[in-house]
Amino acid sequence: MSQKQDKNNLRDKDLMEEIAALCKRRGFVFSSSEIYGGFSAVYDYGPYGAELANNIKSAWWKAMVQENENIVGLDSSIFMHPKVWEASGHISGFSDPLAECKKCHTRVRVDHLLEEAGVFADEKMSEEEINKLLKENREKLKCPKCGDSDFSEAKEFNLLVQSNLGNFTGDWSKNPVYLRGETCQGIYVNFKNVLDSTRVKVPFGIAQIGKAFRNEITARQFIFRKREFEQMEMQFFVHSDEAMKSYEEWRERRWQFYIDLGIKKENLRWHKHENLVFYAKAAWDIEYKFPFGFKELEGVHYRADYDLKQHSKFSDKDLSYRDPQTNEKYIPHIVETSVGVDRTFLAVITDAITKEKLEDGSERTVMKFPKNLAPIKAAIFPLLKNKPELVKKAREIYENLKSQYMCEFDDNGNIGKRYRRQDEIGTPYCITVDFETLKDGTVTVRDRDTMKQERVKAEGLKTWLSEKLNS
Ligand code: ATP
């Protein structure tokens, strides 16, 4: 039997380091281009990380698209017409004021700097007002790198990442193309296409999962803030009279999504935006308790008719909707739910990582992933690798199960070591073929969480596993 987990005894910093180290050691997350020294705030998902990220995306897609008759999927391009970003306000407004630490020259986002100092900066503040605030709170500021509080004045810095796509003249500063800074713009510009090509009627939603790019200044907190990241966004188009009700429904449903996903309730909370951007009517974030504190996981925002109006104006196309029953013509309002795959990944890992002291005094690290998110569902071992009858039977079982689930065959090292390896990547079941198997056709199945073992008929393993994984 295991003792009570002691994860909570780890200091927050230790927990973050433990997670990052395990993610690297066990092939979940690597620094990008590591052999060249890495590339700041860009990360790669390794073999188990890719599985986990895919499982997260599938769970979201199922909850948002598959299970909702009135939500359809989309996969729009990363490159878009540059005018999209003018219409969206990203070219003029998607900038964060930065201040530079005079001692170590680290550039820090001013809103983060002030937030850490317990001072609130309104998004609508001018550069002048921000600088006044910085000056007034000077002694409270703290550089995240060196701890100093002497900062330069704040300057605006655009977050959109530029590209030279399709520009053959060489001077691409004049007509820059951008890598999308958020996926939802692809949804807005396809609103009419979806309306004209499918049978959707307002209220309906369009959902998509895709990469987004931002020139983030503060490159820290592991995969929480990446420069290339992935978003899962759903835009729900609704009549203005119904919008607030729909907004409240979506707030509830998105909260429930995380509970259903298996995230611990005590690690989630709501955060209300008090100072809204001028067009928004309501904005709440779901925050998760990451090792560095409660931070935004998902935004659920009521954006009114701003987005479609802007794109109507900039494209000169009518993006209004005519109700087939009432004949009313209007620009639908939008309720948006927006979450990052990477932040969900980090939340799932933070929730799952557990250290346990065992009865024999040893320790194990186990990822208690919800079963549907576990990268590998079952590992199949022959007890001994030099006994061909055991290896043959174990291979047979592996071949049979792999068509249905991500499985792993492992004959390396003693069984205890193989269990530890699977614990660290969160595999719910380890199946061992031993000498008894050859006699009575049963295998040993060991449960990740309880470490209890039971004998199961090899013949019925597929059904047994399905029942267990879906329970
Ligand atoms: P923050 O204030 O933390 O920078 P944001 O308010 O700019 O986040 P949104 O523009 O609302 O974020 O993006 C929606 C979601 O996309 C966020 O809730 C988050 O999960 C994810 N996201 C945003 N920026 C990043 C990033 N740099 N790295 C990873 N995920 C991100």
- The fraction of the chain above a pLDDT of 90, given in percent, is 76
The region, left, alpha or beta by phi > 0 then psi within -120 to 50, assigned to residue 291 is: alpha
- Determine whether the shortest distance from the Cβ of 340 to ligand 1 is under 6 A: yes
Q: SS3 letters for the chain?
A: CECCCCHHHCCHHHHHHHHHHHHHHCCCEEECCHHHCCCCCCEEECHHHHHHHHHHHHHHHHHHHHCCCCEEEECCCCECCHHHHHHCCHHHHCECCEEEECCCCCEEEHHHHHHHCCCCCCCCCCHHHHHHHHHHCHHHCCCCCCCCCCECCCECCECCEEECCCCCCCCCCCCCEEECCCCHHHHHHCHHHHHHHCCCCCCEEEEEEEEEECCCCCCCCHHHCCCEEEEEEEEEEECHHHHHHHHHHHHHHHHHHHHHHCCCHHHEEEEECCCCCCCCCEEEEEEEEECCEEEEEEEEEEEECHHHHHHHHHHCCCCCEECCCCCCEECCEEEEEEEEHHHHHHHHHHHHEEEEEECCCCEEEEECCCHHHCCCCEEEEECCCCCHHHHHHHHHHHHHHCCCCCEEECCCCCHHHHHHHHHHCCCCEEEEECHHHHHHCEEEEEECCCCCEEEEEHHHHHHHHHHHHHC
- Determine whether the shortest distance from the Cβ of 307 to ligand 1 is under 6 A: no
Measured in Å, residue 59 CA sits from the centre of ligand 1 at: 20
Measured in Å, residue 54 CA sits from the centre of ligand 1 at: 19
Find, among 423, 301, 275, the residue nearest to 362 by Cα: 423
Mean pLDDT, range 215-240, rounded to an integer? 92
- Determine whether the shortest distance from the Cβ of 226 to ligand 1 is under 6 A: yes
- Determine whether the shortest distance from the Cβ of 424 to ligand 1 is under 6 A: no
The domain locations on the chain are 3-91+161-351, 95-158, 376-469
- Determine whether the shortest distance from the Cβ of 181 to ligand 1 is under 6 A: no
Q: Token pair of 23, please?
A: 């993610």
Task: Report the alpha-carbon distance of residue 336 to residue 282 in Å, rounded.
Answer: 11
- Determine whether the shortest distance from the Cβ of 229 to ligand 1 is under 6 A: yes
Measured in Å, residue 340 CA sits from the centre of ligand 1 at: 7
User: Which segment of 5-14, 79-88, 395-404 scores lowest on mean pLDDT?
Assistant: 5-14
Q: At what angle do helices 341-352 and 12-25 cross, to 10 degrees?
A: 110
pLDDT confidence bin for 264, thresholds 50/70/90: very high
Nearest residue by C-alpha to atom 26 in ligand 1: 225
Measured in Å, residue 466 CA sits from the centre of ligand 1 at: 36
Nearest residue by C-alpha to atom 20 in ligand 1: 340
**Relative to the CA of 226, which ligand 1 atom is closest?**
28
User: Which segment of 33-37, 150-154, 359-363, 415-419 scores lowest on mean pLDDT?
Assistant: 150-154
User: Which fold would CATH assign to domain 95-158?
Assistant: Herpes Virus-1 (3.30.40)
- Site to probe by mutation for ligand 1, drawn from 85, 228, 338 as the one with most ligand atoms within 8 Å of Cβ, is 338
- pLDDT higher than threshold 60 for residue 1: no
- pLDDT higher than threshold 50 for residue 59: yes
pLDDT confidence bin for 2, thresholds 50/70/90: very low
CATH for the 376-469 domain, from 3.10.20.30, 3.40.50.460, 3.40.50.800, 3.40.50.2300: 3.40.50.800
Mean pLDDT, range 68-77, rounded to an integer? 98
Measured in Å, residue 86 CA sits from the centre of ligand 1 at: 20
User: Which segment of 58-62, 122-126, 213-217, 341-345 scores lowest on mean pLDDT?
Assistant: 122-126
What per-residue confidence (pLDDT) applies to 172? 63
Measured in Å, residue 210 CA sits from the centre of ligand 1 at: 13
Nearest residue by C-alpha to atom 8 in ligand 1: 296
Nearest residue by C-alpha to atom 31 in ligand 1: 340
Architecture in CATH for domain 3-91+161-351: 2-Layer Sandwich (3.30)
- Determine whether the shortest distance from the Cβ of 443 to ligand 1 is under 6 A: no
Mean pLDDT, range 154-162, rounded to an integer? 85
User: Which letter, b or e, does each residue of 66-102 get, where b requires 16 or more Cβ atoms within 10 Å of its Cβ?
Assistant: eebeebbebebeeebeeebbebbebbeebebbbbbbe
- Determine whether the shortest distance from the Cβ of 116 to ligand 1 is under 6 A: no
The mean pLDDT of the chain is 92
Measured in Å, residue 178 CA sits from the centre of ligand 1 at: 18
User: Does the predicted TM-score (pTM) go above 0.85?
Assistant: yes
Nearest residue by C-alpha to atom 10 in ligand 1: 182
Measured in Å, residue 343 CA sits from the centre of ligand 1 at: 8
Measured in Å, residue 392 CA sits from the centre of ligand 1 at: 49
What per-residue confidence (pLDDT) applies to 93? 62
For 161-202, the pLDDT digits (tens) are: 999 888 777 666 677 899 999 999 999 999 999 999 999 999
Nearest residue by C-alpha to atom 29 in ligand 1: 225
What per-residue confidence (pLDDT) applies to 237? 98
236 contacts 244 by C-beta, under 8 angstroms: no
- Determine whether the shortest distance from the Cβ of 298 to ligand 1 is under 6 A: yes
Measured in Å, residue 118 CA sits from the centre of ligand 1 at: 21
What per-residue confidence (pLDDT) applies to 10? 66
pLDDT confidence bin for 131, thresholds 50/70/90: confident
What per-residue confidence (pLDDT) applies to 4? 41
What per-residue confidence (pLDDT) applies to 104? 73
For 409-450, the pLDDT digits (tens) are: 999 999 999 999 999 999 999 999 999 999 999 999 999 999
